[in-house]
A and B are shown apart, each in its own frame.
Chain A
């Protein structure tokens, strides 16, 4: 029955997609609750898979259907192993709470049928990606997630001004439809390269089935390693996909704009689904490259881990630093997501550095995925309530909101503390695991970068919480209060309920965080060593056990204390510091402009490709068109006419005619002779 629950995880959301228009015809309430009900059934089916984790020897479970057997053989099936069960539960359960939240948030929206269809399709596609046993179907889920995100980010496709993001004036604004397109294209860059990588793997291994790839690694990896550069190429191509989807440097620029859609969509993209797919895929690929390096002895395979770790570390710092100056609440949270995913990548990358770190790194990455999903979903949902209540997307237009939104304040504070890494919340345990693995790898450069990111995270989290809930009420809020139908209050009950449930989940996972981590560690150890047969060594900690937790708390304080004085107690004046110091101004501009990366890409790729296209159309095509459609016909008609004129029988110039006729005949004969020869 277990594997049937996995199939149901795929069937329910897509059934929801198909039935929503039918329900919509019957009654709006049926449409809304029907959509959420299918999400509930999906979550229920996922939860029913959890008991499998307590009998790990029964895993992995597989089930297969033949999809195509000529000219290539591809099966469509389910793979249940600890990784897929854990991630499927994160996706299904958190999505369900987000769907509950939507019941209130989307009330009265005229296009809500489209919304429900896209949301359920998003959940279904993500579960397909997670549960599929073949790289082809993982890729199909991957692409469908991209399409759904395009539809949801650009949900307000009419581009009314109230849905613009960016700014505040005089800075530029972005329209939802443009943001959707940007997400589709930027993630598409990674998708396409990844497709190349998968197909190269297929050309060597002859299979797309994940477990078969692991099992037959001894046969095909040495063959691939025999072509110099091939494993490096495949690593780069395969990493490009997760880098795009999980918004990692250098393809991270789409995510800050991906919050143009409705609030819960951001929660879904950032917490439960899309951005997690990259981390999941890296985890799926680790056994292949780990085998390549530690068993096959291909030095190139280490490139995979080095690249993943460094991309993760750089992204963690880069995005966290940008979060320190963001004024849009959802953008600050978006930077935070990019940064946190960086941690997961870092842990997964480090897991290949030594045989002792495999299970620790793998566990740290996935554990952080779980805890982040919970607190980030809570943060985004609370942000949706805050933005709706404050009628502004900017945190400097909020202030002192805790008296208006007491529940949201409590829930968001819990989630924020978890994001910062304050003990004993789950963010602390998972971040601690990431930092520990990083330190144990003895790659100090990576550790320093990750540690700096912790300081930044702590700073920006305290900053946005302070600016939203503490200090004085902003002029904007005061103006809102003056309005006749002012309602700076909590959202609908369903919204508060969903946030509350997630907050409760955070507390629960906080208490059982260590136990959960150990359980995951055991599961992955069994899976990676016994089922996939990867060689691991016993890891002996090089540093005292208290060092990293202590360091972690100190780093959090290093970021939180100045932020506290600036934005909560307001003893220090941020504006004053900004005005007085030219260095701060420069740093601020650099961070506000997102390290100028977005501007560079815009100039290089958007404008560059447009210029290239114009060059092709206005010069190359025009010249060819003129040559073929004007000059050549002209030459043939005019030239032919002149030739006829010249050789026409004219008694006055007989000799001339004979010479022409002779010349043409000789030419003809030579051609004919050459041809026959």
Chain B
């Protein structure tokens, strides 16, 4: 089982996807469980890898020859990539189970009137597309070279396009197109950056990128990469796609879209900061300022929304900026905090957005001004929504609290000698309050007060366990990591602070 373990982690979902594609009709509504089974398997494999790392094996490396002596598929697991892969994979598993009922309901609404066979075909289509997400995330996390990363990133964009177009909400085809164009825009810059790297050092391997250090072209190369990745991260002013795409996709993949966007932060750390730390310094302050603008802008934008899905969507803009703020401060502590925040954010966003999805699923209402009083009928959903709000706002005992703490510790560490970092740090912590304001205000509008008279009280109830239970597990995971952040931070240490402090 543990032979080629990384290869199995990346391609098991693809294999499951193929099985669902070929036997969709026979599997019918069981397709979701097949997908979930494959993800349970990969999660278990990742846990094995994580356990080995705790045992002291810091790096697992696998190389697979693809075409000629030069083109290989390299996969590598270290503390950082395993954490990213494990949490992303777990989110995929959670949302895979969550989608079993959700997507059924969505198909009933979009494709009302189609016969049973068509309905099952759409159902299996969702799942064989869905499984490309875990494959993409695992690929991006574990790839050792830029071309591998590019391949998996593009794969994610294309998967997202089809899922949006088939199962999204209003103007879904148009917005899927918008999403695709932005994805390609980002990928083109990433590819251009990769080619420039190749032109300078003759390889796409990330481990060899340290050879670029001090090269006059390096700053340009980093800049090209950053433009592409900023578009993915929805950093101001490249954020305009996020409210559309994130609000109109099928809600059951909301958490995955947060990963899709935020994983670019991991790419920055992995392929730019770790190998090119000293060349990257010049970008630190601009990134911090841009991140701060994005945080405040995104939060204010969120406050103005009354569409429950748009609230969650716009919040992603500001939340991703927190991890960018940590990365921009460029201290080992802040970068580790930024990465930790990335993981905390994707968990929090999955709970928050999916719960918003449950509200839409139950009430068919998206405007929060028309909602109210749901807590009395949907107590578990309310509790999950409040947990999501606290996970986003960085309340203890959730992991985002520890992440924010570490992240800002790093920023203030830099602030001791850098006035800009100090100012950004103070405004940054104060801006967390905006998150508290918009998440809890939304909670109040949706769940508290009297129940609107026009809501059918008989249909308003907590969703089936297949929807709520996975989210409850996610909340528990966040609490466990929040109570004991050593689990994550010990894994990061040899990869980030262990490396950067020696530079």
Binding site for B on A (CB under 8 A): 66-72, 136, 140, 143-144, 147, 150, 154, 157-160, 175, 177-178, 181, 184-185, 188-189, 192-193, 195-196, 199-200, 202-204, 237, 609-610, 612-614, 616-618, 620-621, 624-625, 628-629
Contact = CB atoms under 8 A, between A and B. Distances in A.
A625 B409 contact: no
A185 B376 CA distance: 24
A426 B305 CA distance: 53
7 contacts: A68-B489, A147-B395, A178-B444, A189-B430, A192-B433, A237-B426, A617-B301
Given A68-B485, A203-B413, 10 more contacts: A143-B401, A158-B450, A185-B440, A192-B429, A200-B412, A203-B412, A204-B416, A609-B303, A621-B240, A628-B240
Tell me the interface secondary structure of chain B in the complex. Answer: helix
A200 B302 CA distance: 30
Contacts of A613: 300-304
A148 to B, nearest CB: 11
B334 to A, nearest CB: 9
B363 interface: no
B486 interface: yes
Contacts of B397: 140, 144
A222 B88 CA distance: 46
A185 B297 contact: no
B343 to A, nearest CB: 15
A70 B412 contact: no
| B297, B333, B416 pick with most chain A CB within 10 angstroms | B416
A495 B496 CA distance: 58
B303 A199 contact: no
B412 A193 contact: no
B142 to A, nearest CB: 23
A131 B347 CA distance: 31
A181 B415 contact: no
Given A157-B375, A625-B240, A136 B303 contact: no
A618 B396 CA distance: 34
Nearest to B382: A157
Nearest to A74: B405
Interface string B438-450: 0011001001111
A624 B444 contact: no
Interface in B474-500: 484-486, 489-490, 492-493, 496-497
A196 B430 CA distance: 8
A183 to B, nearest CB: 11
B276 to A, nearest CB: 20
B367 to A, nearest CB: 15
A184 B436 contact: yes
Contacts of B493: 70-71
Contacts of B396: 140, 143-144
Nearest to A627: B240
B178 A629 contact: yes
B406 interface: yes
A253 to B, nearest CB: 15
Interface residues of B, number: 60
A612 B300 contact: yes
A135 to B, nearest CB: 11
B447 A157 contact: yes
A189 B430 CA distance: 7
B315 to A, nearest CB: 13
A110 to B, nearest CB: 10
Interface string B448-467: 11100000000000000000
A274 to B, nearest CB: 16
Contacts of B100: none
B312 interface: no
A202 B450 contact: no
A625 B182 CA distance: 13
Given A192-B433, A193-B430, A628-B240, A67 B486 contact: yes
B304 A618 contact: yes
Interface string B223-250: 0000000000000010010011000000
Contacts of B303: 609-610, 613
A185 B433 contact: yes
Given A143-B395, A629-B178, A177 B300 contact: no
Q: Point out which of A71, A154, A624 has the most chain B C-beta atoms below 10 A from its C-beta.
A: A71
Given A154-B448, A177-B444, A185 B415 contact: no
A628 B410 CA distance: 35
Question: Lowest 7 CB-CB distances: which A-B pairs, in order?
Answer: A617-B304, A177-B448, A613-B303, A613-B304, A199-B412, A70-B493, A157-B448
A137 B373 CA distance: 35
A624 B240 contact: yes
A195 B485 contact: no
Contact of B444 (A181, A188, A237): A181
B304 A158 contact: no
Interface in B262-319: 297, 300-305
A196 B485 contact: no
B408 interface: yes
Contacts of B305: 617
Contacts of B448: 154, 157-159, 177
B56 to A, nearest CB: 15
B498 to A, nearest CB: 9
Interface string B403-434: 00110111111011000001001100110110
A192 B237 CA distance: 27
B365 interface: no
B324 interface: no
A136 B406 CA distance: 11
Contact of B373 (A70, A140, A158): A158
B437 interface: yes
